[in-house]
Amino acid sequence: MISYLLLSIPTAVKMNGFACLPSFTASDFFFGGLAKPGLTNNSLGSVVTPANVMQIPGLNTLGVSMARIDFAPGGLNPPHTHPRASEILFLLSGQLDVGFITTANVLVTMTICEGQIFTFPKGLVHFQQNNGNVPAVAISGLNSQNPGVQVIAKSLFAATPPVSDNVLARAFQIDTQEVDEIKSKLAA
């Protein structure tokens, strides 16, 4: 792997947790994995294909990455956060309901169409849903080479080890039986 600063430094090192190579080629800055649609035949009807420093070694220290999001009709990219990045989404095709929620619990939402852009501030919960009849595809830019993603429902109800029923029941004001049902469905 290679990093930006290393473009002028001839020594092998490690940075940000990624090994850096003493030499590099154009392929270290290239990725072809977003060319094809991701499979959306899952319970949510959506899939995210990342293009960050895990896939593109040359991104190390560059502070930017991308992702492709495919949506079946009705597909949902469920509420999630990126702990280390803001996001700017360009809708390649289809139609999406998009939204983020502020720290004052205000939902900022609208419907966007092909070719339109919406932005999601760093660290805030956000989601996108395809309410159209055809698939939708989006490309997002993120200002971190390793933005991270935390899908809210999964992180709370399908963590390992599990978050206690009591914590979840009180947080969502449901009973522990309902918690267990959600857990069993999200673990599937």
Task: Kindly identify the residues of this chain, within the stretch 141-160, that bind a copy of itself according to CB under 8 A.
Answer: 141-144, 146, 148-160
**Judged by CB under 8 A, does residue 104 bind a copy of itself?**
yes
**x-marked contacts with a copy of itself along 13-52 as a string, rule CB under 8 A:** xxxxxxxx---xxxx-xxxx-xxx------xx------x-
The rounded distance, in Å, linking the Cα atoms of 122 and 100 is 10
Asked whether 107 and 113 are in contact (CB, 8 A), the reply is: no
Q: Is 176 helix (H, G, I), strand (E, B) or coil?
A: helix
Minimum separation from the CB atom of position 77 to a copy of itself (A): 10
**Judged by CB under 8 A, does residue 106 bind a copy of itself?**
yes
**Judged by CB under 8 A, does residue 139 bind a copy of itself?**
yes
Burial letters 13-38, b for 16+ CB under 10 A, else e: eeeeebebeeebeeebeebeebeeeb
Residues 80-99 that bind a copy of itself (CB under 8 A): 81-88, 90, 92, 97, 99
Quick one: how far is CA 86 from the chain centroid? 11
**Judged by CB under 8 A, does residue 134 bind a copy of itself?**
no
β-bridge partners, 129: 76, 97
Residues 46-65 that bind a copy of itself (CB under 8 A): 51, 56, 58-59, 62-65
**Judged by CB under 8 A, does residue 71 bind a copy of itself?**
no
Question: Which DSSP letter does residue 37 get?
Answer: P
**Judged by CB under 8 A, does residue 4 bind a copy of itself?**
yes
- Beta-strand pair 18-19/14-15: antiparallel
**Judged by CB under 8 A, does residue 73 bind a copy of itself?**
no
Minimum separation from the CB atom of position 136 to a copy of itself (A): 14
